[in-house]
């Protein structure tokens, strides 16, 4: 809990007034993204690995090398809109595939990515992967 609090305070100082929505992939990044969204008073949007309702429209983002290493995520259409300023959040970045996939959803919606923020980054591959998609990348702890 202390790490989440400190990370959300840091994000609040850096991104308050710049991000209207926080986007994270489901599972591990959700607690961090929730704390950050609350600190920014921004809406939280979750990208899921499957379409939960076949009667709804979804935006899709994918990244990786077909046919085996492809990550696919979905966001309910309308959750992100043109003009939204979106902060992408994940707990851990190594290759950057998850962040790439969800950044593609931001672009598909016509929204603007503000930055990609991670708690821990392993190496620099993730930054190179996002360079053309997100204007700013931030890791609170970088290893390797």
Contact 19, 41 (CB under 8 A): no
Is the pLDDT confidence value at 66 over 90? no
Least confident of 62-66, 69-73, 80-84, 117-121: 62-66
- Domain CATH for 33: 3.40.50.2020
Q: What SS3 state is found at 139?
A: strand
Question: Among 49, 48, 61, 63, which residue's Cα sits nearest to residue 94?
Answer: 63
> How many Cβ atoms sit within 10 Å of the Cβ of residue 100?
22
pLDDT in tens, 16-39: 999 999 999 998 889 999 999 999
Total of domains in the chain:
1
What is the extent of the structural domain holding 59?
2-143
Is the pTM for the entire model greater than 0.85?
Answer: yes
CB-side exposure of 21: number of CA atoms within 13 Å? Answer: 22
Rg (alpha carbons) of the chain, rounded to whole number: 14
């Amino acid at each position: 809990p202390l790490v989440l609090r400190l990370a959300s305070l840091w994000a609040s100082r850096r991104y308050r007034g710049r991000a209207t929505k926080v986007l994270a992939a489901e599972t591990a990044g959700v607690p961090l993204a929730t704390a950050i969204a609350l600190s920014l008073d921004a809406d939280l949007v979750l990208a899921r690995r499957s379409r939960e309702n076949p009667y709804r429209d979804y935006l899709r983002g994918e990244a990786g090398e077909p046919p085996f290493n492809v990550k696919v995520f979905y966001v309910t259409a309308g959750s992100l809109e043109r003009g939204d300023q979106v902060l992408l959040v994940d707990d851990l970045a190594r290759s950057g595939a998850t962040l790439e996939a969800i950044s593609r959803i931001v672009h598909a919606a016509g929204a603007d990515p503000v930055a990609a923020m991670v708690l821990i980054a392993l190496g620099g591959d993730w930054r190179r992967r996002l360079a053309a998609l997100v204007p700013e990348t931030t890791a609170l702890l970088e290893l390797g």
